[in-house]
Structure formats: C-alpha cells, structure tokens
Amino acid sequence: MSRKCDISGTRSLSGNKRSHAMNASRRKWNVNLQKVRIVVYGELKTLRVSARTLKTLKRKGQISQ
C-alpha cells in the first residue's frame, strides 16, 4: 500500500538532508497517515487520511470524533 492520502492524494516529499559541512544526502518526508472510519454514501469505510486532511474535515463538520 502506498503512502498516499485517500482523500487529498498527498504523497511523501523528497529532498536533501544537509550536514554541518553542507554534504547532501537524499531523504524523505513521509505523510502522517491515520486510519479513520468514515461514512461514505451511507456505508462505513476505513480510509487512510493525512492528519492535516483529518483536521480540516473535523473543522468543517464532516467527521464527528
């Protein structure tokens, strides 16, 4: 299963890790995925949602937890 938000489609980001001597090595920032049970079209589904998307859904009243 990929590290991807089921609602927003957010994926992990990549970039450079920099040491004190400014040496570059590749690194990855993973998405903070949470398993959430959401009612979609009248049926209960388990989705992997990023924490930021979950916060937005709670603020807009789409999820009550």
What pLDDT score does 62 carry?
80
pTM for the whole structure: 0.79
What pLDDT score does 65 carry?
59
Which stretch of DSSP H or E encloses residue 47?
strand 43-50
In whole angstroms, give the CA distance from residue 39 to residue 42.
Answer: 6
What pLDDT score does 54 carry?
94
Cα 34 from chain centroid (whole Å): 7
Q: What is the pLDDT along the chain (65 residues), one digit of tens a residue?
A: 789 999 999 999 999 999 999 999 999 999 999 999 988 888 999 999 999 999 999 998 888 75
What pLDDT score does 12 carry?
96
3-state helix, strand and coil shares in percent for the chain, rounded to the nearest 5: 15, 45, 40
Closest CA to 27 of 43, 36, 16, 18: 16
Output phi, psi for 50, to 5 deg: -70, 155
